[in-house]
Amino acid sequence: MNAYAELEQRFARLLTLGEVEAVMQWDTATIMSASAAASRAEQMALLQVLQQELLTAPDTEELLSRAGEAELEDWQRANLREMDRRYRHASAVPNDLVEAFARACSRCEHHWRTARAESDFAAISGQLEEVVSLVRQIARARGEALGLTPYEALLDEYEPGTHCADIDPHFDALAAWLPGFLEEAQAAQEARPAVLPVEGPFDVGAQRRLGEAMMKAVGFDFSRGRLDVSLHPFCGGNPDDIRITTRYATDDFASSLMGVLHESGHAMYERNLPADWRSQPVGKARGMAVHESQSLLIEMQACRSRAFLGFAAPHIREAFGGAGPAWEAENLYRRNIRVAPDFIRVDADEVTYPAHVLLRYRLEKALVGGELEVADLPAAWNEGFEGLLGLTPPDDRRGCLQDIHWFDGAFGYFPSYTLGAMLAAQLFAAADRALDDLSGALGRGDFAPLVAWLHDHVHQHGSRYTTPELVEVATGAPLSLDAYQAHLRARYIDAAR
């Protein structure tokens, strides 16, 4: 067997182990009994170590070198690039550190659920300190091996090839632009008729049925996936077994509805990745900004549009037995695009959402770099939030305890959300130019033209291209703020979308 073929076989096994881990993560978040947390931590640690050992086997570096000298097709060359990137990340970290980190994250994530519910940061701070200590060690090791700063070494895992210098100009421009735009958007909102309240309570069963109906409209295939409940919504599993979760509140149906549509965007991307390369790194998603662009494009660009809410309004009324002006399409549309600074990121409106990401980006860079200690996180969070949005969280449940990411060891992920929002706007603008009457199709609940365009321009390429290359291929231009700002202005100032 030649070197490249041997690597393909090895990575196929490696990625299958990753799929097993993903299903176990879903099980942990949805149905596992609390008493199983300790044994699950050991199981997850073992899976991590098995993947680490397989990836960093003594002959992997030699196989990569030999394969690089062979004549390969374009897809194979891209696959080799992705193999090498994964190897360099993994080989920089000792196996015992990988095992310790996996175990610590499993324990911390499990106890975070209780700490969040009880708004008790002190109860979880010790375990988070352990996670952060291990994150710093991993970041330093990877940074030295990859020639990156510690934080950028973590960022590179989620956004391959992206440096803080690529992000900071966009984020600094947003931080300068958002306060004025927020004032302008709120003033425009005040000048329009007030949004009529939609009275609950909203039965959870009805919410689930409505969510499933809208997921089917988007194109989610329930023969290859399912919808469940978890504390923090996510999309996991694998392309043939996609696991979406949401959470329900009886006083607000929109949060769950838009949440499942968001996760459906992730699911459509996973499902439509290149089948011929499914078992290889090149067949996987091209970083988390691209992944988030797919979920945000479906949720924010498409499903919060006036056109789609025109389609969804009768289904919403039927689901909850609503009647009267409050349940009409225009009121439901304006209800879904209300601009109101609030504490919870996943429920934030489009205009204030980037501020939530800016805060987390600044704090996690400081935590990884050692400029901020875990004990000081609540105060730093509250101060930063007040500075960005003029509000002080009343408790840590609505502050630094709200997101799962850090408690599960995911540092370097948060920039993907706003980078993804920027790309979502740029992709949607390109699709709108290319497709005849995209708005009309969304008004009929017909996502087939949009999903087909995304398949052709994003999904089918997997990780064949680097992220900047993919953005250029899909939209004809580098990533910028232009389409994002234009979208926000059209929707919130001009009331055109």
Count of alpha carbons within 13 angstroms of residue 260, beta-carbon side = 29
With pLDDT > 70 as the criterion, what percentage of the chain qualifies? 99
| Token digits of residue 417 | 């959300």
| Token digits of residue 264 | 């459906």
Pairing relationship of beta strands 235-238 and 241-246 according to DSSP bridges: antiparallel
Which residues are annotated as catalytic? 263
Which pLDDT value is given to residue 1? Answer: 65
Residue 496 has pLDDT above 80, yes or no: no
H or E element, residue 293: helix 287-296
Dihedral sign for Cα atoms in the order 268, 75, 470, 345 = positive
Distance, in Å, from the CA atom of 422 to the CA atom of 426, rounded to the nearest integer, reads 6
Which pLDDT value is given to residue 346? Answer: 87
Query: What is the pLDDT of the chain when averaged over all its residues?
Result: 96
DSSP 301: I
List Cβ neighbours of 10 (8 Å cut-off, separation of 6 or more): 54, 57, 60, 63
| Token digits of residue 30 | 């949805």
Which pLDDT value is given to residue 232? Answer: 85
Residue 42 has pLDDT above 70, yes or no: yes
Under a CB-based contact definition with an 8 Å cutoff, are residues 262 and 233 in contact? Answer: yes
Which pLDDT value is given to residue 495? Answer: 78
Residue 14 has pLDDT above 60, yes or no: yes
Return the number of other C-beta atoms located less than 10 Å from residue 191's C-beta.
Answer: 8
Which pLDDT value is given to residue 282? Answer: 98
Q: What average pLDDT does range 255-271 have in this prediction?
A: 96
DSSP 33: -
Q: What average pLDDT does range 466-474 have in this prediction?
A: 97
Domain residue limits, the chain: 3-159
**3-class DSSP assignment, residue 163:** coil
Under a CB-based contact definition with an 8 Å cutoff, are residues 423 and 293 in contact? Answer: yes
Q: How far apart are the first and last CA of the chain?
A: 56
Which pLDDT value is given to residue 188? Answer: 94
Q: What average pLDDT does range 75-97 have in this prediction?
A: 96
Q: pLDDT tens across 346-381, in order?
A: 889 999 999 999 999 999 999 999 999 999 999 999
Q: pLDDT tens across 222-236, in order?
A: 999 999 999 889 999
Distance, in Å, from the CA atom of 143 to the CA atom of 416, rounded to the nearest integer, reads 20
| Token digits of residue 376 | 């000081």
DSSP string of 229-259, one letter each residue: E-SS--EEEETTEEEEEE--BTTBHHHHHHH
CA distances from 69 to 7, 66, 72 (A): 14, 5, 9
Under a CB-based contact definition with an 8 Å cutoff, are residues 94 and 106 in contact? Answer: no
62: left (phi over 0), alpha (psi -120 to 50) or beta: alpha
Q: What average pLDDT does range 207-236 have in this prediction?
A: 95
List Cβ neighbours of 160 (8 Å cut-off, separation of 6 or more): 85, 286, 287, 466, 467
Residue 158 has pLDDT above 70, yes or no: yes
Distance, in Å, from the CA atom of 400 to the CA atom of 417, rounded to the nearest integer, reads 17
Q: What average pLDDT does range 152-175 have in this prediction?
A: 96
Q: Which residue's entry shows tokens 């610590």?
A: 104
Residue 493 has pLDDT above 90, yes or no: yes
Q: What average pLDDT does range 463-467 have in this prediction?
A: 97
